[in-house]
Amino acid sequence: MSGKQELQKSAAIVRISEEDIKSISEDLRLKLTPEEASAIYEFCDGTCKDYQRVYELTAPTPTVKYPRTPGYRDTQDDSWYYRCDIKGAEKGLLAGKTVAIKDNVTVAGVPMMNGSKLLEGFVPDRDATVVTRILDAGGRILGKSVCEDLCFSGNSCTSSTGPVKNPHDPTRSAGGSSSGSGSLVARKVVDVAIGGDQGGSIRIPASWCGIVGLKPTYGLVPYTGIMPIEKTIDHAGPMARTVEDCAALLEVIAGYDDGNDPRQFPAVPHPPYSKLVNDGIKGKKIGILTEGFVDVEEDLARVVRQRALTLKEAGAEVSDVSLPIHMDGLAIWTPVAFEGTYQMMIKGNGHGYNWKGSYDLPLQEALAGAYNLRPFDCPLPVKIVMIFSEYMQRNYQNKFYGKAQNLVQHLTREYNRILKDYDVIVMPTLPAKAFKLPSKEHSVYETLKLELDMIRNTAPFNATGHPALSVNAGLSEGLPALPCGLMIVGRMFDDLTVLQVARAVEKTFEEKP
């Protein structure tokens, strides 16, 4: 091999040519003169050298603190993707607690699929920040829980490993996209789990499986090391059978991550939730949001309202409140979720640009290869996002994304306005009890509706970032008796009050079984 060939082999990028400059100029309608094109060609020689130097430098990799083996693929339990056994510190708030980690979260050395055949075979080289914090607090990680394909379904039917069944009725959905986490916690296979939530993906399985799931305030829990969908709506949070365990897990994973996550602010308030969660709700004002009950199944609405009214016995003031713009929350979320996801998760290979924080380079490279070679392996909901967002970009640029983000600010202020008078607002988490899992008898359109048609109460709070928790309000009448989720929404960074109200709901069962 000649010296020239050796240099070419080790080059970071192919030197831009004059033909490349001419072609790109024509595509972008830049109308370069020959002299300008020649100047650009000469100037870019230095730019290419800068890229070469970046290629040669070594990027830092986070230290993996706790030993582990890769584990094994679990084919017996529909809620596990990969099993492992990683023991954390001897002492800590989570000592003795077993944990499942949603499979969109990196655990070093343990395969990560994110529910998608696109990532099958990918093995991360780092622990997500929440994983390290769990292990530092004494938690024991038993594996990666199944999640929906690229986390883009509210039903538990899209994962490449197969559907996750509801613990209360195997013909029904466990909810998504944190489907495995919800099922494992509900079935007492683990004590607590990590979920992710961009449109309701913690709260949907929490509601349908009958457990506790908290989407924390935006930025409270670092998203570092978790595959993003859209930077402005990404949330990760705790799932548990009890509010006390949910509070303990939140306490462990909350807090600033030293600039690694651009979703966070340096002064992230996070009190000792586990010590304060039982302080009661005497004197708290709770608003039952009228619009949250629109087009909700009658028995579900009745169970949620009755449970909310019992909070008067705990000393709270409970009354109805109306906020009509809540009905537009899902519409406002949609351009952000669609076009933002397309730019960040698809075209940006999970990260994209304009990101001041930590990039997961191996994950980015794996996604780039998968999207380039096998875009047809994306699930249908993601294909819809790709097609519609490309259409919008070609015809309207980012006009509607920008307007939607401005409307998010207005929506946020409107929720804040009623949250000045009320400590929390409550409503049904979802408009219906657990859907039936789709079958071959369902048309493609009917299946799509089952995957995405349940988020009108949950998605608005992904857009605004308010803390929102689902807790079981009781079981529906008739057979099968199914859990009915009650959602509690609080002020920004007042996740503590949300947890305290949820604990009061829980106590109504303890006192009056």
Mean pLDDT of residues grouped by 10 in the chain (513 residues)? Answer: 48 92 95 95 94 91 90 97 98 98 98 97 97 98 98 97 98 98 98 98 98 98 97 98 98 96 91 98 98 98 98 98 98 98 96 91 95 95 97 96 98 98 98 95 93 96 98 93 98 98 95 54
Examine the residue annotation and report whether 102 is marked as an active-site residue of this protein: yes
Alpha-carbon distances of 129 from 19, 65, 258, 430, rounded to whole Å? 45, 11, 11, 30
What DSSP element (H or E) covers 452?
A: helix 444-452
pLDDT of amino acid 511 = 62
Residue 7 DSSP label:
H
pTM, two decimal places: 0.95
Among 59, 55, 57, 42, CA closest to 11: 55
Residue 190: CB partners within 8 Å, gap ≥ 6? 98, 99, 100, 142, 184
Domain residue ranges of the chain, discontinuous segments joined by +: 3-56, 72-331+401-511
Examine the residue annotation and report whether 207 is marked as an active-site residue of this protein: no
Q: Are 250 and 237 in contact (CB under 8 A)?
A: yes
Catalytic residue among 177, 179, 183, 476: 177
pLDDT of amino acid 11 = 85
Catalytic residue among 201, 207, 358, 476: 201
Distance of alpha carbon 144 from alpha carbon 337, whole angstroms: 25
Say which residue the tokens 């100037």 belong to: 43
- Give me 376's structure tokens: 């047809």
Q: Are 277 and 496 in contact (CB under 8 A)?
A: yes
Distance of alpha carbon 499 from alpha carbon 483, whole angstroms: 19
For CA atoms 511, 301, 409, 392, the dihedral sign is positive
Residue 69: CB partners within 8 Å, gap ≥ 6? 84, 85, 109
What amino acid occupies position 443?
A: S
pLDDT of amino acid 512 = 54
CATH class of 72-331+401-511: alpha beta
Residue 146 DSSP label:
P
Q: Are 38 and 22 in contact (CB under 8 A)?
A: no
What amino acid occupies position 305?
A: R
pLDDT of amino acid 457 = 98
pLDDT of amino acid 224 = 97
Catalytic residue among 102, 231, 284, 433: 102
